């Protein structure tokens, strides 16, 4: 057994549990490291506080004088909390977060030192944008980028640094991040949903999109993770024979949390609570060494920031507990991968969840309005939603018989499906008194009773209604939620605008009453979006055929999924909703394609290293041991040795065959990679990596895994699945 593998296993077995002390209630430390409303009340003047509140609520600008006050207050608070630096914390198109730290420390002209932080430093910074992905938006000589304060997301202290959430834009004004488009989409859905909500409640003046994410992840002992070069370089195991036991006994799911893991979780939750991340749920997931964490839902922009911050915190806390967190969507073959379910809804400033039924027919009509419009939006733009969750790593999950399929459909349940079917039969134009009574009493009025038994029994649907929210299940575990949330809120905003125009037209031109006009339009939407509703098995071959008949997209790979971004319909959508310009959309497509290429390229290079530096040398060493054994038996028994060496000779031949094939497939993959690299067009290059390079990965893995299964355990160089997944 390789020295590294032995040491890793030994160290993992002897890890002590780090004890975490729980001091007091979580509510007492919640948000203590956040410059939130409570801190602002203590540090800001009345005018400054009102200005910040107005910026948060209505998006109004904060003038320089007020910004200076806010900055001074932030600095004073941060210093009392032990902060020495500040940073603009932003979300470049890498999918992660970025930060450049500056000290509060400065010098006066006379040489005296002081702590300095003004409004100009709070509101805007000018980091070099040349090394961040831009998709061709800016030239090298225009490499400046600008980070601008987002007051809707509270500043926080992480370590000794005051972190200020910001957007990131180019020298020419285009968004170079994931936050700016999200904020625009949230503004669009706020305006559109508020206008529709006023049909039912004139006092509504703002609608917030809410998000509750569920973060799945794997935990490995740090020594075991570092012993695998493929995990270190790619975040997943590129080879590895499946262990005798996987998840088939279902004994890990919701099982007793191992002691070391529980300590990690407790420590993580404590740090999250201080940072204002409202973590609530923790449990074992389906696969061995897989876990989940989920918070209370929040306003979508804040929830996105908190999820990105959480992943940073998880890495640091895991390291402290001698763990490595794997966020890759499919780190191990043969067992479940990890997703990040996005639970989305709309909430008014009057405290009403617009996707939750009420106690009266009018409240239920409001629910149906937003419920059906969401279904219609997803039906119209299902291909765009698929594109929003596309990545090289997530391709391993989508449609892979364990997670939501690549085909988008909506699960609403039998009971709500029956309600929609009844509404579909509403007559056109004015409703008769009998119809109004039937609708209000026997259809719309009974929705709360129906939903009592509308638990989500379909776990294969990529977009499901789960009682008072829609759950988008295809989002990858390491993805930035901003991307799918930008698309979802944009398409719902567009749909609600169209809906209001149609309803108003019926009221003005056809003299219909408001509820009659609403029913008429909803009826048409139910008919035209019927193809997206599906309550069956999303994995079945029959559904794939049926989806094709319904003309639903089935883009199984990232290059195919991303093509819709620059379609006329998509460009028109983003432009008319003022979420992204054509240049910004095209840039994102190019960045996503380049990222896909780089990820497959890195994995291809890693396969070469594994094959030539680990697998073939180990296989030859074992083969030589067998040959020595055969030759020794021949020396002792002469011709009679053949009866005694049949098994050894068979294994020698198998090893030789696998060595030949693994080298052959690795060399062919290298040639395909070189051919792909010669392509200049990023679109063609991405498809070449997808169609010509990536297929060799499974062929290489097959022979590597076969070698692992027949070789001497002590000679196998890489830590095995049973060691990675079942060390506690």
User: Domain end: 136, 153, 176, which one?
Assistant: 176
Domain at 633, CATH number: 1.20.120.1560
Conformation bin of residue 145: beta by default, left when phi > 0, alpha when psi is -120 to 50: beta
Task: State how far the Cα of 163 lies from the Cα of 153, in Å rounded to an integer.
Answer: 11
Helix 64-80 crosses helix 46-58 at what angle (to 10 degrees)?
A: 100
User: Domain end: 517, 547, 580, which one?
Assistant: 580
Instruction: Say whether both 568 and 634 belong to one domain.
Output: no
What letter would DSSP give residue 577? Answer: T
- Residue 414 placed within a domain: yes
What letter would DSSP give residue 138? Answer: S
Instruction: Say whether both 640 and 572 belong to one domain.
Output: no
pLDDT digits (tens, 9 = 90+) for 194-220: 999 999 999 999 999 999 999 999 999
- Residue 576 placed within a domain: yes
Residues 6+ apart with CB under 8 A from 317: 264, 267, 268, 271
Pairing status of strand 161-170 against strand 85-89: parallel
Pairing status of strand 207-221 against strand 156-158: unpaired
Pairing status of strand 463-465 against strand 410-411: parallel
pLDDT digits (tens, 9 = 90+) for 233-263: 999 999 999 887 777 665 667 678 888 999 9
Residues 6+ apart with CB under 8 A from 153: 165, 301, 302, 305
Instruction: Say whether both 57 and 114 belong to one domain.
Output: yes
Nearest Cα residue to 241 out of 593, 625, 709, 694 = 709
Instruction: Say whether both 556 and 635 belong to one domain.
Output: no
Percent of the chain scoring above 90 in pLDDT: 65
Domain range for 652 is 595-726
For residue 371 the two structure tokens come to 């419920």
What letter would DSSP give residue 288? Answer: T
pLDDT digits (tens, 9 = 90+) for 461-491: 889 998 899 999 999 999 999 999 999 999 9
- Residue 134 placed within a domain: yes
The pLDDT value given to residue 125 = 77
Residue 144 reports pLDDT greater than 70: no
Asked if residues 15 and 264 have their Cβ atoms less than 8 Å apart, the reply is no
Task: State how far the Cα of 483 lies from the Cα of 303, in Å rounded to an integer.
Answer: 13
Instruction: Say whether both 600 and 557 belong to one domain.
Output: no
> What does each C-alpha distance from 457 to 265, 335, 401, 533, 673 come to in angstroms?
29, 22, 17, 15, 44
Instruction: Say whether both 124 and 212 belong to one domain.
Output: no
- Residue 24 placed within a domain: no
Task: State how far the Cα of 91 lies from the Cα of 94, in Å rounded to an integer.
Answer: 8
Task: State how far the Cα of 574 lies from the Cα of 584, in Å rounded to an integer.
Answer: 10
**Domain tally, the chain:** 3
Residue in this structure with the two tokens 């992204």, named with its chain if needed:
580
Asked if residues 623 and 650 have their Cβ atoms less than 8 Å apart, the reply is no
Asked if residues 75 and 104 have their Cβ atoms less than 8 Å apart, the reply is yes
Q: Which residues pair with 218 in a beta bridge?
A: 290, 326
pLDDT digits (tens, 9 = 90+) for 653-703: 999 999 999 999 999 999 999 999 999 999 999 999 999 999 999 999 999
- Residue 25 placed within a domain: no
The pLDDT value given to residue 51 = 87
For residue 109 the two structure tokens come to 């002209």
For residue 717 the two structure tokens come to 């160089």
The pLDDT value given to residue 452 = 54
Domain at 141, CATH number: 3.10.20.70
Instruction: Say whether both 157 and 199 belong to one domain.
Output: no
Residue with the larger pLDDT of the pair 577 and 405: 577
Instruction: Say whether both 136 and 201 belong to one domain.
Output: no
- Residue 11 placed within a domain: no
Residue 114 reports pLDDT greater than 70: no
Reported confidence tier of residue 178, pLDDT bands at 50, 70, 90: very high
- Residue 69 placed within a domain: yes
Task: State how far the Cα of 486 lies from the Cα of 484, in Å rounded to an integer.
Answer: 5
User: Domain end: 128, 153, 176, which one?
Assistant: 176
């Amino acid at each position: 057994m390789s020295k590294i593998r032995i040491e890793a296993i030994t160290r993992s077995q002897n890890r002590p549990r780090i004890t975490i002390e729980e001091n007091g209630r979580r509510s007492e430390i919640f948000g203590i490291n956040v410059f939130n409303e409570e801190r602002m009340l203590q540090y800001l003047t009345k005018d400054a506080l009102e200005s910040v509140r107005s910026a948060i609520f209505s998006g109004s600008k904060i003038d320089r004088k007020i910004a200076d006050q806010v900055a001074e207050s932030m600095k004073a608070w941060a210093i009392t909390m032990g902060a020495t630096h500040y940073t603009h914390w932003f979300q470049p198109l890498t999918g992660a977060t970025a930060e450049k730290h500056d000290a509060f420390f400065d010098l006066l002209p006379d040489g005296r030192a002081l702590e300095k932080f003004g409004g100009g430093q709070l509101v805007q910074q000018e980091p070099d944008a040349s090394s961040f992905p831009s998709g061709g938006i800016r030239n090298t000589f225009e490499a400046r980028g600008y980070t601008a304060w987002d007051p809707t997301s509270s500043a926080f202290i992480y370590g000794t640094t005051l972190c200020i959430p910001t957007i990131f834009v180019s020298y020419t004004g285009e968004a170079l991040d994931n936050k700016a488009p999200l904020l625009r989409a949230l503004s669009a859905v706020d305006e559109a949903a508020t206008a529709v909500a006023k049909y039912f409640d004139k006092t509504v003046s703002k609608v917030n999109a809410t998000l509750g994410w569920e973060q799945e992840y794997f935990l490995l002992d740090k020594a075991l993770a570092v012993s695998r070069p493929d995990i270190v370089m790619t975040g997943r195991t590129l080879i590895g024979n499946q262990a005798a036991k996987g998840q088939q006994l279902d004994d890990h799911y919701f099982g007793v949390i191992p002691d070391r893991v529980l300590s990690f979780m407790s420590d993580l939750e404590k740090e999250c609570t201080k940072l204002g991340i409202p973590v609530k749920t923790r449990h074992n997931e389906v696969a061995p060494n897989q876990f989940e964490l989920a918070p209370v839902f929040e306003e979508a922009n804040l929830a996105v920031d908190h999820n990105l911050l959480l992943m940073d915190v998880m890495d640091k806390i895991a390291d402290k507990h001698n763990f490595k967190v794997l966020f890759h969507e499919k780190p191990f073959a043969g067992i479940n991968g990890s997703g990040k379910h996005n639970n989305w809804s709309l909430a008014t400033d009057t405290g009403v969840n617009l996707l939750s039924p009420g106690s009266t027919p009018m409240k239920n009509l409001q629910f149906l309005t937003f419920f059906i419009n969401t279904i219609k939006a997803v039906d119209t733009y299902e291909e765009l939603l698929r594109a929003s969750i596309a990545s090289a790593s997530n391709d391993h999950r989508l449609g892979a018989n364990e997670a939501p399929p690549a085909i988008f459909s909506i699960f609403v349940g039998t009971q709500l499906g029956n309600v929609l079917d009844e509404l579909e039969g509403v007559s056109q134009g004015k409703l008769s008194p009998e119809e109004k009574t039937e609708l209000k009493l026997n259809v719309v009025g009974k929705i709360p009773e129906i939903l009592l038994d509308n638990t989500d029994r379909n776990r294969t649907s990529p977009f499901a209604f789960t009682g008072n929210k829609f759950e988008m299940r295809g989002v990858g575990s390491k993805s930035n939620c901003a991307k799918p949330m930008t698309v979802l809120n944009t398409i719902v905003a567009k749909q609600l605008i169209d809906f209001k125009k149609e309803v108003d037209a019926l009221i003005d031109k056809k003299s219909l009453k408001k509820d009659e006009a609403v029913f008429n339009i909803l009826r048409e939407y139910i008919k035209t979006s019927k193809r997206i509703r599906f309550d069956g098995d999303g994995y079945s071959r029959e559904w794939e055929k049926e989806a094709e008949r319904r003309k639903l997209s089935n883009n199984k790979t990232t290059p195919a999924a991303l093509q819709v971004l620059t379609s006329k319909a998509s460009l028109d959508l983003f432009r008319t909703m003022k979420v992204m310009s054509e240049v910004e959309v095209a840039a994102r497509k190019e960045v996503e394609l380049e990222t896909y290429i780089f990820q497959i390229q890195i994995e291809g290079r890693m396969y070469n290293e594994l094959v030539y530096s680990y697998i073939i040398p180990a296989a030859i060493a074992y083969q030589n041991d067998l040959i020595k054994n055969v030759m020794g038996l021949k020396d002792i028994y002469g011709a009679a040795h053949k009866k005694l060496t049949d098994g050894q000779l068979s294994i020698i031949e198998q090893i030789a065959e696998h060595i030949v094939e693994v080298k052959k497939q690795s060399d062919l993959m290298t040639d395909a990679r070189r051919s792909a690299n010669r392509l200049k067009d990023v679109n063609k290059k991405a498809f070449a990596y997808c169609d010509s390079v990536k297929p060799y990965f499974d062929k290489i893995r097959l022979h590597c895994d076969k070698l692992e299964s027949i070789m001497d355990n002590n000679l196998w160089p890489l830590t095995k699945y049973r060691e990675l997944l079942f060390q506690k």
